[in-house]
Amino acid sequence: MENSNREQWSQDFLLNKLEQAKVHFERTIDSKHTEFDDLYPYMIEHPQFFWYKRYVAWSELLTIVKLCEELGIPWTERFATHQSEYVNNRVMSSKVLDYWYETNDTREHVG
């Protein structure tokens, strides 16, 4: 495989993983089912674990963003400006959870 093809494949692969991580995190915000629920089904019975589930998804998102940054792959255009700022700040707070979807055009939550 030619170097430029390999680099494009790697970039496409990481951006796909970034999109998956973003959707995973958004599903946790919306309290939707994720693969985490399949791994730890007993957590569904304990609401206090919703924060842990969100933390795991947030950590996954930050890890992929870090890889994109280290490899020079632009990632911010996949997010609204305020979402990119939240990710750059790296701290998942109630503000992130409350205002993640806040935009000028009313974006629908993940279905």
Does 57 fall in a domain? Answer: yes
Does 92 fall in a domain? Answer: yes
Does 84 fall in a domain? Answer: yes
Does 68 fall in a domain? Answer: yes
Cβ 54 vs Cβ 92: under 8 Å:
yes
Number of domains in the chain: 1
Does 27 fall in a domain? Answer: yes
Does 106 fall in a domain? Answer: no
Which ranges in the chain belong to alpha helices (H)?
Answer: 3-29, 35-39, 50-70, 81-89, 94-99
Contacts of 83 (CB under 8 A, 6+ apart): 100
Whether the model pTM is above 0.85: no
Cβ 79 vs Cβ 85: under 8 Å:
no
Does 107 fall in a domain? Answer: no
Residue-range definition of the domain harbouring residue 28 = 3-99
Radius of gyration of the chain (CA): 15
Q: Which amino acid is at 8?
A: Q
pLDDT at 106: 47
Instruction: Inform me whether the pLDDT recorded for 76 exceeds 50.
Output: yes
Does 42 fall in a domain? Answer: yes
Mean pLDDT for the chain overall? 87
